[in-house]
Amino acid sequence: MKTRAAVAFEAKKPLEIVELDLEGPKAGEVLVEIMATGICHTDAYTLDGLDSEGIFPSVLGHEGAGIVREVGPGVTSVQPGDHVIPLYTPECRQCKSCLSGKTNLCTAIRATQGKGLMPDGTTRFSYKGQPIYHYMGCSTFSNFTVLPEIAVAKIRTDAPFDKACYVGCGVTTGVGAVVNTAQVQVGDNVVVFGLGGIGLNVIQGAKMAGADMIVGVDINPSKKEWGEKFGMTHFVNPKETADVVAHLVELTDGGADYSFDCTGNTDVMRQALECCHRGWGTSVIIGVAEAGKEISTRPFQLVTGRNWRGTAFGGAKGRTDVPKIVDWYMNGKIQIDPMITHVMKLDKINDAFDLMHAGESIRSVVVY
């Protein structure tokens, strides 16, 4: 079949809207009509050529929601008409990682996914006879996409696609980092670096978990008002603060119980660790750093009891947890609507990247 898609032909170039050829689902795969997709900073990072796994030409996008239109042989868990969210972290429930119960990082298809391929080692997309690669196993910047059955979460049919798509990455990552990875407890003090599409979800997760102080840190002063909408109690602008770490340690009476990096900047990651409380504070890295960057600190920071952790997709097990997070939204436990600042059609998708780089959007969503 044909599908309209925004294709990343080359790094650092705008996406091009073209009609691609799409092969139907093979065994264990499903064809999904994407109804809406968010644009996450990770898409921008890959398009900017900063991802060591970036492959071109490809169809980016990993934060979508849509409807199953066709299933391949052997598919049993979803059927045509089901509403689904594509999962860049699948859940096969059979691999060593899934069976361990210790991680959400399913390994069933990670090797091919990282090469822009379906599990059988081929692509379903092509343009003028040449292969176009998949991205993070999702490729939601195409109106239709093919996904492995284990990489879709079935959600309720009354959830609006233009909001539910955000659960495909930003909401789950931010809220999940708090409730699954850090397991913030009532009364904890939390510091969040970077109040964008992820950081604001960390804030609302911390509020939901009953955190006491929720300190937001951002170099963009307009983020103060944004943080306050979701439960931030204090705001720090590093551009107006001589020693950010010392200031945060004093503000939190000795340091954060939990801090979160939602910037992808390795210098900020160090600050996030070092503002944690001596003896027990834990810093969770969410931000994705550009290829070649490394983190550092004095080992003494760890010797004296600070913990450095990371999280992918908020530690969420996609097929199990994503439908629950959609329920939290539908039941009013978490907010999504105010964070979706811009909605556009596919032909304006490059505007979403410009808005993000200018710090003018929280989330842009493309509606097909």
Q: Using CB under 6 A as the criterion, which residues of the chain lie in contact with ligand AHE when the complex forms?
A: 40, 42, 51-53, 89, 105, 110, 169, 288, 312-313
- Could you give the string, one character per residue 26-65, with x where binding to Zn ion holds by CB under 5 A and - elsewhere? --------------x-x-----------------------
Minimum distance between the CB of residue 46 and ligand AHE, rounded to whole angstroms? Answer: 8
Could you confirm whether 40 is annotated as catalytic? yes
Minimum distance between the CB of residue 274 and ligand NAD, rounded to whole angstroms? Answer: 14
- Cα distance between residue 316 and residue 311, in whole Å: 9
| Residue 52 touches which of ligand AHE, ligand NAD, Zn ion, none (Cβ within 5-8 Å per kind) | ligand AHE
State which of residues 219, 245, 344, 367 lies at the interface with ligand NAD (CB under 6 A). 219
Tell me: does residue 259 bind ligand NAD (CB under 6 A). no
- Cα distance between residue 201 and residue 66, in whole Å: 22
- Cα distance between residue 322 and residue 329, in whole Å: 11
Please, is 101 exposed, middle or buried when counting C-beta atoms within 10 Å of its C-beta (0-12, 13-18, 19+)?
A: exposed
Could you confirm whether 165 is annotated as catalytic? no
Tell me: does residue 197 bind ligand NAD (CB under 6 A). yes
| Residue 197 touches which of ligand NAD, Zn ion, ligand AHE, none (Cβ within 5-8 Å per kind) | ligand NAD
Looking at the Cβ atoms of 88 and 144, the one nearer to ligand NAD is 88
Minimum distance between the CB of residue 206 and ligand NAD, rounded to whole angstroms? Answer: 15
Looking at the Cβ atoms of 198 and 206, the one nearer to Zn ion is 198
| Residue 265 touches which of ligand NAD, Zn ion, ligand AHE, none (Cβ within 5-8 Å per kind) | ligand NAD
Minimum distance between the CB of residue 168 and ligand AHE, rounded to whole angstroms? Answer: 10
Per CB under 6 A, the segment of 28-36, 40-48, 53-61, 105-113 that binds ligand NAD is 40-48
**Contacts (CB under 6 A) with ligand NAD, residues 312-341:** 312-313
Minimum distance between the CB of residue 286 and ligand NAD, rounded to whole angstroms? Answer: 5
Tell me: does residue 14 bind ligand NAD (CB under 6 A). no
3-state secondary structure the chain: CEEEEEEECCCCCCCEEEEEEECCCCCCEEEEEEEEEEECHHHHHHHCCCCCCCCCCECCCCEEEEEEEEECCCCCCCCCCCEEEECCCCCCCCCHHHHHCCCCCCCCCHHHHCCCCCCCCCCCEEECCEEEECCCCCCCCECEEEEEHHHEEEECCCCCHHHHHHHHCHHHHHHHHHHHHHCCCCCCCEEEECCCCCHHHHHHHHHHHCCCCEEEECCCCCHHHHHHHCCCCEEECHHHCCCHHHHHHHHCCCCECEEEECCCCHHHHHHHHHCECCCCCEEEECCCCCCCCCCCCCHHHHHCCCEEEECCHHHCCHHHHHHHHHHHHHCCCCCCHHHEEEEECHHHHHHHHHHHHCCCCCEEEEEC
Query: Where does this chain bind Zn ion (CB under 5 A)?
Result: 40, 42, 169
The catalytic site residues sit at: 40-42, 62-63, 92, 95, 98, 106, 110, 169, 363
Query: Where does this chain bind ligand NAD (CB under 6 A)?
Result: 40-42, 45, 169, 173, 193-199, 217-220, 223, 238, 262-265, 268, 286-288, 311-313, 356, 359
